Amino acid sequence: MSDIFERFEKEYTALSASVGSKVAALSKAGPADDRAANIATADAELMQADELLQQMELEARSVTAKERPRLQTRLKGYKSDVTNLRKEIKEARAVAAREQLMSGGRSPPESADQQAHLLQINERTRSGTEKLRQAQATALEAEAIGNNIMSDLRSQRETIMHATGTLQRANEGLARGSRVLNSIGRRALANKLLMWLMILLLTFGIIMLMYLELFGGPGGGGGGGKPAGNASRALLEHQQRL
């Protein structure tokens, strides 16, 4: 449990006990001035207890999800106690007002001054409580805006990570495609060179055949066939000797 929550809880328990004792004292017969003073003090302390509950509620939101339900259950019980005490104070204030009306509304000057002073304190306390509630509402609104911003940032981060992964996969695909194209280009160049080599060889072979046909055959090119005929006859004579 949060240490801050425990500290607020101890303060609330002390205030609640003080308010409860004052409310219990209101049910007993006593001077009207004492009763009015107890009502004003109990009302001020109850406002402080309500403020503590609001602080405890804010603190309960910051704890882990495992502890939060238990703290919220305790806060629900505390709020119910504050509601009951507020009803009792309201009833006691109504009883005091009826008794003052029945007594003719007369009170000593000192009592009137004391009541006026207590009313001023009560009014200042109410004003401070209202400002605190406004500040709390602003803080809650800022917290909600912060949570929304954090949620949007997480969503954008996931989108960026997904886009980064997609770009990485696209870059890998482009690199593979580039390697394939380079390999195809090298093969095409090798095939082109081989084709030119074959063309050159065929051309050279055709030229040689044409040369032999024109200058190396029988009766061609100024008696070029005589050596070939002598060689044939020498070969036949050698075979006959054998």
Query: Tens of pLDDT along 102-128?
Result: 665 444 444 556 666 666 676 677 677
pLDDT tens sequence across 39-90: 788 888 888 888 888 888 888 888 788 888 888 888 899 889 888 888 888 8
- Indicate the burial class of 186 (C-beta count within 10 angstroms; 0-12, 13-18, 19 or more): exposed
pTM score, two decimals?
Answer: 0.43
DSSP-derived letter for residue 62 is T
Q: Indicate the burial class of 12 (C-beta count within 10 angstroms; 0-12, 13-18, 19 or more).
A: buried
Q: Classify the phi-psi angles of 26: left when phi > 0, otherwise alpha if psi is within -120 to 50, otherwise beta.
A: alpha
Q: Which long-range contacts (CB under 8 A, 24 or more apart) does 8-14 make?
A: 8/52, 8/55, 8/56, 8/59, 9/56, 9/74, 11/52, 12/49, 12/52, 12/53, 12/56, 12/78
Task: Mark 91-125 as b/e (b = at least 16 C-beta within 10 Å).
Answer: ebbeebeeebeeeeeebeeebeebbeebeeebeeb
Q: Where are the domains of the chain?
A: 3-107
Cα 114 to Cα 81: distance, rounded to the nearest angstrom: 29
Reported as a single tens digit per residue, the pLDDT across 203-237 is 999 999 888 888 865 544 444 444 444 444 554 55
202 or 120, greater pLDDT: 202
Q: Which of 101, 95, 74, 59 is nearest to 13 (CA)?
A: 74
Query: Pick from 39, 236, 54: which is nearest to 134 by CA?
Result: 54
Q: In 52-196, at which residue ranges do the beta strands (DSSP E only) sit?
A: none
Whether the pLDDT of residue 155 is over 80: the answer is yes
CATH code reported for the domain at 3-107 = 1.20.58.400
